[in-house]
Structure 1
Amino acid sequence: MTDTAAPLPLSRPVKVDEIKLRGTPFSLKAEAHEKAGIATMLGLPSVESLEARYMLSRSGERVKLEGTIKAAFHQTCTVSLDDFPVALDVPLKLDFAPQEPAEPRRRAAADDAGEIDIEVRLNEDDPPEPIVDGVIDLGAVTLEFLALALDPYPRKPGAVFAEPAPEEPPESPFAKLARLKKDD
């Protein structure tokens, strides 16, 4: 299967070999053309600024990322449909590990009694994010966590949803007949 997805509007690949054991600081700032692409990708009217500061540290083949994403943009109010400014400050902690080959799927096996043995794993820690070909794309990480931090139903400060007054139901035909009968 080929990957036909459009390229991300923000990409900052970092080779794992360039990350020092004691930590390497990285910062990224979206350029004007990238901000327009990010706004389109996330369905925002505009993105005024997007910056991220990360500290990456390596332990063998694993990488730990800590940092913050700061963004200023406009969202559309779901009540008034007006655009309004939003500022976000998103803290971030992630672990990365080399991408492992895909595990073959295990089939559920029926024993002699006809019971199916299925291994269930609950409450496990999140697995580390994959390091693909020795590279971590900090732009993709930034976009993913910015998208997760967006309010799915943004409401402009002070916007109030006012339910319309109920309309009076039309007079029933039987009520009209009863009035005509009284008039006679």
Structure 2
Amino acid sequence: MSEPELSRPVDVRQAEGKAMSIVASEAERVALSERFGLVRIDRLEAEIELHRKDRRVTASGTLSADFVQSCAVSAEDLPVSIDEDLLFRFVPPHSGYEPEEEIEIDAEDCDEIEYEGTHFDVGEAVAQSLALAIDPFATGPEADETRRKAGISDEASSGPFAALAALKKPD
């Protein structure tokens, strides 16, 4: 397994009450933009607070980023800014459930990230959170014109009822 682009390892034994400010360097932003298929990442920052209970560590905070991605239709550059709340938990492997066991999840639950040994990586968790915040189908102002030029019509004329509409006789 290759080294994460944004690595910030934390020793679980020193996690209680730890506050972290993560600011991705230019090299980290370049590597992450390649990993996630972005044009570029101009800014990636996170403020995280850790709280430990036994070997489980809950991380909460915020993620802020400015990046440029390509429009899903026209490939034009789209500037995007995000501000997301973060909440995840680092847990040792096999933490109380069997792989085949059905698990109920509600709004109070958070993502659990397994770690082995005495360290977990908050930076990689932040990178994964960024990946989840990216809209893979984002479109820009040129998308409609690009569709029109390509002969792709809007949903009303090409949707599931388009064939029925074509059969309708004019009055």
The two structures share one fold, judged by TM-score above 0.5: yes
Q: Does 1:25 align with 2:19?
A: yes
Aligned to 2:104: 123
Task: Tell me which moved more, 51-60 or 127-136.
Answer: 127-136
Once the 2 structures are TM-superposed, how far is the Cα of residue 69 of structure 1 from its aligned partner? 0.9
CA RMSD of aligned residues (A): 2.6
Counterpart code for 1:142: V
Q: Could you tell me how far apart the structure 1 residues matched to 2:152 and 2:36 are?
A: 35
Gap regions ≥5 residues in structure 1: 106-118, 167-184
Q: Could you tell me how far apart the structure 2 residues matched to 1:148 and 1:139 are?
A: 14
Does the 8 Å contact 1:98/1:134 carry over to 2? no
Aligned to 1:87: 81
Normalised by the length of structure 1, the TM-score is: 0.69
Q: Does 1:164 align with 2:160?
A: no
- Distance change (3 Å), C-alpha of 1:82 and 1:65: same
Q: From the CA coordinates, give the structure whose radius of gyration is larger.
A: 1
Tell me the alpha carbon deviations over residues 97-118 of structure 1, each in whole angstroms, 9 at most, x when there is no partner: 22239x998xxxxxxxxxxxxx
Q: Could you tell me how far apart the structure 1 residues matched to 2:98 and 2:64 are?
A: 40
Once the 2 structures are TM-superposed, how far is the Cα of residue 122 of structure 1 from its aligned partner? 5.2
Tell me the alpha carbon deviations over residues 84-142 of structure 1, each in whole angstroms, 9 at most, x when there is no partner: 210111211112222239x998xxxxxxxxxxxxx762535667322321111011101
Counterpart code for 2:29: K
Tell me the alpha carbon deviations over residues 51-110 of structure 1, each in whole angstroms, 9 at most, x when there is no partner: 011110111222111111111000001222111210111211112222239x998xxxxx
Aligned to 1:172: none
Normalised by the length of structure 2, the TM-score is: 0.74
Gap regions ≥5 residues in structure 2: 154-171
Does the 8 Å contact 2:19/2:48 carry over to 1? yes
Which has the larger share of helix? Answer: 2
**What is the percent sequence identity of the aligned residues?**
32
Once the 2 structures are TM-superposed, how far is the Cα of residue 9 of structure 1 from its aligned partner? 1.2
Counterpart code for 1:19: A
